[in-house]
Every structure is written in structure tokens, then in C-alpha cells.
Amino acid sequence: MKALVFHGPGDKAWEEVPDPVIQDATDAIVRIDTTTICGTDLHILKGDVPAVTDGRILGHEAVGTVTEVGPEVSGVAVGDRVIVPAVTNCGECSYCTDGMPAHCQSVGGVGWIFGHLIDGLQAEFARVPFAGTSLVKVPEGLSDEQVLFLTDILPTGFELGVLNGDVGEGDTVAVIGAGPIGLAAIMTAGMKGASRIIAVDGDEFRLEAARTFGATDTIRAGSGDVAAQLKEMSPDGLGVHVAVEAVGIPETLDTCWAAIRPGGTVANVGVHGAPVELPIQDLWIQNITLRTGLVSGTTIPELLAGIQNGEIAPERFATHRFPLDQIMEAYDVFGNAAEHRALKVVLSAG
């Protein structure tokens, strides 16, 4: 089969590799029908994830069709259309039974293994460990594009931004950073009753997208004191109820500290590559809560229901579409997202 193979920082190739085979009784083989590219893939190609070694097939987001199952797989069968989430779930370890498969102990304590610790999903076929508990059947009537982004970015924005932020009825929510993850938080905040959702970004295209994804207001980064503007837009001038940090740099986290109201919650979603300051000397007296975390994908059923009842429309993330065998071109577009006005690219087989 063909697959996108990592050969070290800055080096990748769409090339022939051996077909995947059943290795464990709980495995399944899935034909990849639709996949996409994540910002994490770009970090891998920069050399930022040393656990990814030469020869690894990349990718951790896909929708496909089951073509083979191991003897101990239950719940899915050959011919089923399935979502292949980024996080693998053994269903038996204490973290999985407690609803935190991000730390599944059966796969080494990090549920994200595709394109990381094992071969991934930017390929014609893939092996899926713990298929019975990891794969999610696609409900009848939903297209691949409607469910593709349930594999990673939509649960990430919802779980780490909206749920960790404890968004409630009538809340004012600020989302700092309107990239795909920030947009996912914006799209899903209304599911928990947020009445005002304010997107902050320096890119006008992303702010335009934020308005279509559910933002009631937008602020362009660099247009004065952002924290002060957020406070002015809060109901009583005391600050926002929830601030979602979706960039991963010290400056945006500082904006969250400055914009949050007493008793509010800062939900950190961005991946920080440098140390940040936690101004505990100021935060403790304000009763500020800080939440961090890794996506577990446990909200996929709730998000599927949101798609079916029309609350959310994840297919809006798809701005560019390519055949799977044009994945090298798709990487060029996604890697230069601002130039191409790209949110997410969709790669389809056949």
C-alpha cells in the first residue's frame, strides 16, 4: 500500500510500504476513506516529537471501513464505517474505566499512539489496536466530512476548552486564538449555554471564520489592550467567566489572567513550548481556577448527537480537499495555512 512516511525532520515521502496485518487479537484493519492533517504532524516534521522515528507512518485522524478484525474484537465488524479517534482506548485499565483514556496504560500511558508510537492513518490501510473499544461507528446518514473532525480537534476544543472551562448557562467566554482548536471551542461553547463568545486573533480570515462558527464578537489582536476590551464586553465589567487559551505562548496566557473575573476559570488548550509565568500572587485572592489536560475523546457520542440535532456543523472546518495520493501538496497548503486561507484539509481515497 501507499502511505506518508516520516524520514526525519523536514523529510517525508508518499511511498510503498507493507500492508498492515493483525498483530493482536483485539486489532482491526481499517481501509482509510478520509483523513486529514493536524498541527501536531507539522511539529513532528520539525523534529519537535523525538518519539517519532524514521519510518513511522504519520497521521492520527481518519474515517474508514473495517476490512478485517481479530478474534477478540466485538462491537465492530467487517464492512462497518468507523471513526478512528486519535486516542486509543483499551477499556480495561484504571484510566480508561475512569474516563481518561488519554493516559491509557495498555499503550504506555499516552492514548495518542497513531503516527506517534505506532504507524498512523495517512495511509491506504491502518492497524487499529483495541478496535472494539476505540473505533466508533458512523451513524447512518452522516458523511465522512461531518464526522472526520471528531477524531481530534472537536473533542479537544470541547473537552479541554468548554468542559475544563466549566462553561455554563449565560457565561461570557473568551477564546484566545481562533485556529482550528480555538474554533472547535467556539463551535461547541453554545452547547453548554454560553451567551457571549468572543474570539481573539490577529488574522482577519480566522476572525471571519470565528463568526461563522458561533462567535458573537471578535477582537483583533494588536488592536489595543485586549484584556481591557474583554472586560468591557463582560456583563458587569469584571471580566469574562471563562478564558480559553488556544495558542500556546506566554503572551496569550497573560491575556487570560488579565481578562478573567473573580471566580472564573482559565482553560489552557494551547501546547506551550516555553516556560510561562503563573502569577499565583495575584490569582489566589481572585479564586481563579486553571485547568489543563489532554484530549480523551470521551465526548464523541455527545458531539455526534450535536451534529445529528443540528447544534454543530464540523464540516465547516474543511476548506481544502485533495485526493489521498496528493497528500504532499496538501501538506504544503496546510503548512502555509495563512497564505492559503486554510483551516483543515480533507484527503479522500478513491
Q: What is the mean pLDDT of residues 283-297?
A: 96
Q: Is residue 160 part of a domain?
A: yes
Instruction: Say which residues have a Cβ less than 8 Å from residue 251's Cβ, sequence separation at least 6.
Output: none
How high is the pLDDT of residue 348? Answer: 98
Q: Among 121, 6, 97, 98, which residue's Cα sits nearest to residue 53?
A: 6
Instruction: Please give the Cα distance from 5 to 13 (Å, whole number).
Output: 5
pLDDT-derived band at 273, boundaries 50, 70, 90:
confident
Q: Is residue 302 part of a domain?
A: no
How high is the pLDDT of residue 39? Answer: 92
Determine contact, residues 175/199, Cβ cutoff 8 Å.
Answer: yes
pLDDT-derived band at 274, boundaries 50, 70, 90:
confident
pLDDT-derived band at 21, boundaries 50, 70, 90:
very high
- Same domain for 259 and 162, yes or no, is yes
Q: Among 266, 210, 317, 258, which residue's Cα sits nearest to residue 218?
A: 210
How high is the pLDDT of residue 185? Answer: 98
Instruction: Please give the Cα distance from 261 to 238 (Å, whole number).
Output: 5
- Same domain for 34 and 125, yes or no, is yes
Q: What is the mean pLDDT of residues 279-303?
A: 96
- Same domain for 186 and 236, yes or no, is yes
Q: Which residue has the higher pLDDT, 184 or 48?
A: 184
Q: Is residue 267 part of a domain?
A: yes
Provide the residue range defining the domain that includes 258.
154-291
pLDDT digits (tens, 9 = 90+) for 331-340: 999 999 999 9
Q: What is the mean pLDDT of residues 288-312?
A: 97
- Same domain for 33 and 138, yes or no, is yes
Q: Is residue 264 part of a domain?
A: yes
How high is the pLDDT of residue 324? Answer: 98
- Same domain for 70 and 188, yes or no, is no
Residue 212 has pLDDT above 90, yes or no: yes
To the nearest whole number, what is the mean pLDDT of the chain? 97
- Same domain for 192 and 128, yes or no, is no
Place of cell 463568526: 211
- Same domain for 278 and 176, yes or no, is yes
Q: Is residue 301 part of a domain?
A: no
Residue 350 has pLDDT above 90, yes or no: no
Q: What is the mean pLDDT of residues 27-48?
A: 96
pLDDT digits (tens, 9 = 90+) for 102-157: 999 999 899 999 999 999 999 999 999 999 999 999 999 999 999 999 999 999 99
Residue 64 has pLDDT above 80, yes or no: yes
Q: Which residues pair with 267 in a beta bridge?
A: 244, 291
Q: Is residue 296 part of a domain?
A: no
Q: How many domains does the chain have?
A: 2
Residue 52 has pLDDT above 90, yes or no: yes
Residue 103 neighbours by CB distance under 10 Å: 18
How high is the pLDDT of residue 173? Answer: 98
**CATH number of 27's domain:** 3.90.180.10
pLDDT-derived band at 207, boundaries 50, 70, 90:
very high
Q: Is residue 297 part of a domain?
A: no
How high is the pLDDT of residue 156? Answer: 97
